């Protein structure tokens, strides 16, 4: 998933981690008194056993923010090869729906934990090459890959900047996070926290129904991994619409968090879901590449970053993969044969003409 990594946002979320004051009896050493629990929004441990006690104490769920997600995916692959038979991935899939889970721990008390609503949001980055290595057949078959919202921003040149976030924007964001944290749950028959249902307005439902029908027609034309991803994006449109609605309410742009999700929010959710679908097409194509296809794509991207055309000499200078003129010429000729580029002759102002490979 995409997440903002700026310190103002991280500070705003971390500011919501507060410790509940324990009863006086606990402070005086009464073993039967309730022990204190830590309400928190952020965690950085990605093991199921470590998350269990945290989720029991936090009805909202938690967020895992990691700069690198390779360890998270790699751990699931490790468990899949062990006698546990992929139980780690199964738990993460259950948490995607906020469903109840049972965690059997090897250490700590109690050994068995029941989490009524296990909700964990995971956000971070991973290198495309590492993602290709770690996404196994099992991750595709069990639906884990389809549940990931991924984006692959184009490379941009680094530029020096001394710009800093406007303080009013930072303050507004912290206010939004604070108000979202203050939202209270409902209660079930036993008095335990329970989700509150937020309906759609009539106009929003009409727009969502039209989207579901059109999205379903698209999915019908797909197969494999993309068809699975399209199945999850339908629900993500509603989830993203709810987030949009709640943030608007927290920012004061909407009168009530429990009021119906309106047309503006459902359209925002649909727009985001469609954008993630376009990203899925690019990323899934990358995951399916063989070595030759990957080299071809990377060469096209390299030429595009150089303005859409390159000479053999420029290609040699830009990439160590082409150490001599023959290798560079062969690679560029391959693009021409694949009808991705064409050769052009450019006459120099004073020197001889130069042959240039230009992308189509």
User: Bridge-partner residues for 355, per DSSP?
Assistant: 345
For residue 4, pLDDT over 50 is answered with no
At 339, is the pLDDT very low, low, confident or very high (cuts 50, 70, 90)? Answer: very high
Non-local (6+) Cβ contacts of 113 within 8 A are 52, 53, 56, 102, 103, 105
At 108, is the pLDDT very low, low, confident or very high (cuts 50, 70, 90)? Answer: confident
pTM of the model: 0.82
Residue predicted with more confidence, 30 or 222: 222
Task: Tell whether 176 is covered by a domain.
Answer: no
Over residues 314-342, mean pLDDT: 93
- The pLDDT, as a whole number, for residue 56 is 87
Q: Do residues 340 and 293 make contact, with C-beta atoms less than 8 angstroms apart?
A: no
Residues 7 and 143 occupy one common structural domain: yes
For residue 13, pLDDT over 90 is answered with no
* Residue numbers of the domain that contains 247: 195-288
Task: Tell whether 28 is covered by a domain.
Answer: no
For residue 271, pLDDT over 50 is answered with yes
What CATH number does the domain containing 320 carry?
A: 1.10.10.10
The 3-state DSSP class for residue 281 equals: helix
Query: Strand 101-104 relative to strand 186-187: parallel, antiparallel, unpaired?
Result: unpaired
**What Å distances lie between residue 41 and 57, 175, 181, 341, CA to CA?**
11, 16, 9, 50
Listed residue (342, 326, 334) closest to 295, CA to CA: 334
Question: Which single residue is written with the structure tokens 């700069």?
Answer: 67
Residues 132 and 6 occupy one common structural domain: yes
Task: Tell whether 41 is covered by a domain.
Answer: yes
The 3-state DSSP class for residue 225 equals: helix
Residues 271 and 297 occupy one common structural domain: no
pLDDT tens digits, one per residue of 52-65 = 888 888 888 899 98
Backbone angles phi, psi at 341, to 5 degrees: -155, 175
User: Bridge-partner residues for 200, per DSSP?
Assistant: 261
- Per-residue burial over 156-183, b = 16 or more CB atoms within 10 Å of its CB, e = otherwise: eeeeeeeeeeeeeebeebbebbebbbee
For residue 15, pLDDT over 50 is answered with no
Over residues 212-225, mean pLDDT: 96
Query: Among the three residues 234, 258, 288, which one is the final residue of a domain in this structure?
Result: 288
Task: Tell whether 90 is covered by a domain.
Answer: yes
Task: Tell whether 264 is covered by a domain.
Answer: yes
The 3-state DSSP class for residue 114 equals: strand
Query: Among the three residues 91, 113, 148, which one is the final residue of a domain in this structure?
Result: 148
At 11, is the pLDDT very low, low, confident or very high (cuts 50, 70, 90)? Answer: low
- The pLDDT, as a whole number, for residue 253 is 84
Residues 257 and 340 occupy one common structural domain: no
| Distance from C-alpha of 126 to C-alpha of 318, rounded to nearest angstrom | 24
For residue 185, pLDDT over 70 is answered with yes
Residues 133 and 110 occupy one common structural domain: yes
């Amino acid at each position: 998933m995409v997440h903002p990594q700026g310190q103002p946002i991280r500070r705003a979320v971390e500011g919501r981690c507060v410790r509940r004051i324990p009863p006086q009896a606990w402070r005086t050493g009464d073993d039967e008194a309730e022990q204190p629990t830590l309400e928190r929004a952020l965690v950085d441990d990605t093991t199921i056993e470590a998350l269990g006690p945290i989720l029991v104490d936090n009805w909202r769920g938690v967020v895992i923010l990691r700069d690198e997600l390779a360890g998270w995916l790699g751990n699931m692959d490790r468990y899949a090869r062990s006698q546990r038979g992929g139980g780690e991935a199964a738990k993460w899939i259950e948490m995607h729906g906020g469903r109840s889970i049972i965690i059997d721990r090897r250490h700590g008390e109690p050994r068995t934990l029941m989490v009524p609503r296990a909700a964990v949001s995971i956000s971070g980055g991973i290198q495309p090459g590492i993602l290709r290595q770690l996404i196994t057949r099992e991750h595709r078959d069990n639906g884990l890959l389809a549940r990931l919202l991924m984006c692959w921003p184009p490379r941009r040149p680094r530029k020096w900047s001394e710009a800093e976030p406007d303080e009013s924007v930072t303050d507004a964001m912290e206010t939004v996070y604070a108000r979202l944290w203050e939202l209270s749950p409902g209660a079930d028959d036993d008095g335990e926290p329970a989700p509150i249902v937020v309906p759609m307005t009539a106009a929003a439902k009409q727009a969502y129904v039209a989207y579901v029908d059109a999205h379903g027609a698209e999915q019908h034309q797909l197969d494999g991994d993309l068809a699975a991803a399209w199945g999850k994006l339908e629900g993500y449109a509603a989830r993203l619409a709810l987030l949009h609605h709640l943030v608007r309410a927290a920012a004061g742009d909407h009168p009530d968090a429990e009021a119906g999700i309106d047309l503006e929010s459902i359209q925002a959710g649909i727009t985001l879901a469609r954008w993630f679908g376009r990203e899925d097409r690019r990323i899934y194509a990358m995951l399916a590449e063989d070595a030759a296809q990957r080299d071809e794509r990377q060469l096209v991207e390299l030429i595009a970053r150089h303005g859409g055309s390159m000479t053999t000499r420029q290609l040699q200078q830009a990439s160590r993969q082409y150490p001599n003129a023959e290798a560079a010429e062969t690679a560029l000729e391959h693009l021409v044969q694949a009808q991705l580029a064409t050769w052009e002759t450019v006459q120099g102002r004073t020197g001889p003409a130069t042959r240039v490979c230009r992308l189509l």
